Amino acid sequence: MSFQQEILRRRTFGIISHPDAGKTTLTEKLLLFGGAIQEAGAVKNNKIKKAATSDFMEIERQRGISVATSVLAFIYRDKKINILDTPGHKDFAEDTFRTLTAVDSVIVVIDVAKGVEEQTEKLVEVCRMRNIPIIVFINKLDREGKDAFDLLDELEQKLGLTVSPLSYPIGMGYDFKGIYNIYEKNINLFSGDSKKNIEETIAFDNLENPELEKIIGSKAAEDLRSELELANGVYPKFDIEAYLKGEQHPVFFGSALNNFGVRELLDCFVDIAPTPRPKMAEERLVDANEEDLTGFVFKIHANMDPKHRDRLAFIKIVSGTFERNKAYLHVRQGKKLKFSSPNAFFAEKKEIIDISYPGDIVGLHDTGNFKIGDTLTQGEHLNYKGIPSFSPEHFRYINNADPMKSKQLYKGIDQLMDEGVAQLFTLEMNGRKIVGTVGALQFEVIQYRLEHEYGAKCSYENFPVYKACWVDPKDPKNEEFKEFKRVKSKFLAKDKQGQLVFLADSQFSLQMTQSKYPSVKLHFVSEFD
């Protein structure tokens, strides 16, 4: 197969949802279709169980399992599908944001009864900012839920999507009869039998055909006709170009648990989802078809074995081919590296691979060379735009609890931050270190890992911060900026990249600061123009 053909057959995407909407179940059904797993339940272990959220030993165990399910690849209709796993737990939202820099499209799963939920809003906002093509799957149609029109409305209002339904439910919950597939023009009858892998579909391209009454009953036929007529009037016709630009969002209905509507989703996805997209580097736009390798690190996973401090760096290939034992330039460090055992991911297994193509994810064993956001090339000095950090939610002073082990402690903190476990801020005033995390859980994880992987001990002390804001002075010499730095010196810190950060202790103080120093721009994301 030619290089071109290899690129064209790749679809790399992520599934995002609020916890419990059905992301894991859908992932599993997709893998079943791809023949990548034989039975349901295989991916399930990857979930961090709600009951165990305060148990970091459980998290550690899960961390091991989740290396294997970080990337789930399979072949379907001769296409190479790479699903990038995103943790559902909100304490790991930052991981999900980073993973979204490596996907070419996403599928958003919505629970029919709950509609659009908080975490979905945040994640979809990130996708929209980057114009990532989105397909929506409304799940759990076997249960009573919201009216289809209300849901489509919610997608527009809360997520700002321009929806175009490609399937439409016939009834719901107890009365759920099936789905009319607008994309394929057929009717898919619901049997409620989750063991059936292939559903029976009835081709049906003219809804006026009186056969419809015979198939789904006269009441359902009447409702379907009038609702679809309304939908046709209200929502735009599906336009693949608009979808690929992130301007229109196809919607499917189904029930992942019952394996219903999943094949339709997958078939359409394979037809329309983007092949590896070009990516912006600081220097230029890089196209997947370019022959020279470029790629970037979007995730680092520490090894479970504390005796071998090696880690797995996940690289998304943007252009060219990645080959085993070939020397590549680690741009930030300016040195050439060779990799003798790059890993590729297949279903739940990882294996050593000789060559990978754009869209693929390669796992590289690393002893501390990589940081999230690093670029690898064939020699060109190219830097993919960094992966932004968001303001953490929780902040604590981190103290050394064993003075004999300070070297180990700082090394440990440094490496854990490179992995993206949390963010480190150093107060300008006195050099004290503050750890900021998205969830309270990470503090335990850090403490545990420092002790078990680095032999260091830490303790925490509360530090009340409402938000970390990255400071953009526009003009650092301006008097207002100097005044801001003087008055707020107690609240100023540097992040790991040396960028100035204002740690606002309350919403009120943030607002006051913004109005008092209007020329000092404060951002909740570490990257801004």
Residues that bind ligand G4P (CB under 6 A): 17, 19-25, 44, 47, 88, 139-140, 142-143, 255-258
Across the beta sheet with 327-330, the strand order is 335-338, 327-330, 375-377, 294-302, 311-319, 361-366, 343-346, 349-352
User: Min. distance of Cβ 485 from ligand G4P in angstroms?
Assistant: 45
Instruction: Kindly tell me which of 44 and 474 has the beta carbon lying closer to ligand G4P.
Output: 44
User: Min. distance of Cβ 93 from ligand G4P in angstroms?
Assistant: 14
User: Min. distance of Cβ 409 from ligand G4P in angstroms?
Assistant: 35
DSSP 198-222: S--EEE---TTSTHHHHHH-HHHHH
Element housing 364 (H / E): strand 361-366
Question: How far, in Å, CA of 496 to CA of 101, rounded?
Answer: 20
Instruction: Kindly tell me which of 44 and 196 has the beta carbon lying closer to ligand G4P.
Output: 44
Instruction: Kindly tell me which of 142 and 418 has the beta carbon lying closer to ligand G4P.
Output: 142
Question: How far, in Å, CA of 169 to CA of 300, rounded?
Answer: 41
Q: Are 433 and 398 in contact (CB under 8 A)?
A: yes
Q: Are 96 and 15 in contact (CB under 8 A)?
A: no
Provide the greatest CA pair distance for the chain: 83
Q: What are the DSSP E strand ranges found in 190-324?
A: 201-203, 249-253, 279-280, 285-286, 294-302, 311-319, 322-323
Instruction: Kindly tell me which of 224 and 257 has the beta carbon lying closer to ligand G4P.
Output: 257
Q: CA triplet 44, 45, 48: central angle to 5 degrees?
A: 100
User: Min. distance of Cβ 470 from ligand G4P in angstroms?
Assistant: 32
Question: How far, in Å, CA of 181 to CA of 166, rounded?
Answer: 6
User: Min. distance of Cβ 263 from ligand G4P in angstroms?
Assistant: 14
Instruction: Kindly tell me which of 21 and 107 has the beta carbon lying closer to ligand G4P.
Output: 21
Question: How far, in Å, CA of 82 to CA of 360, rounded?
Answer: 7
Instruction: Kindly tell me which of 123 and 427 has the beta carbon lying closer to ligand G4P.
Output: 123
Question: How far, in Å, CA of 69 to CA of 350, rounded?
Answer: 9
250 vs 14, 16, 161, 168, 177, CA distance in Å?
Answer: 16, 15, 9, 11, 22
What six digits make up the tokens of 195? Answer: 């063991």
User: Min. distance of Cβ 354 from ligand G4P in angstroms?
Assistant: 34
Q: Are 108 and 135 in contact (CB under 8 A)?
A: yes
Instruction: Kindly tell me which of 29 and 488 has the beta carbon lying closer to ligand G4P.
Output: 29
Question: How far, in Å, CA of 368 to CA of 22, rounded?
Answer: 36
Instruction: Kindly tell me which of 141 and 427 has the beta carbon lying closer to ligand G4P.
Output: 141
Instruction: Kindly tell me which of 80 and 263 has the beta carbon lying closer to ligand G4P.
Output: 263
User: Min. distance of Cβ 230 from ligand G4P in angstroms?
Assistant: 25
User: Min. distance of Cβ 50 from ligand G4P in angstroms?
Assistant: 8
User: Min. distance of Cβ 140 from ligand G4P in angstroms?
Assistant: 4
Instruction: Kindly tell me which of 25 and 391 has the beta carbon lying closer to ligand G4P.
Output: 25
Q: CA triplet 333, 473, 332: central angle to 5 degrees?
A: 5
User: Min. distance of Cβ 510 from ligand G4P in angstroms?
Assistant: 33
Which three-class secondary structure string do you get for 147-169? CHHHHHHHHHHHHCCCEEECEEE
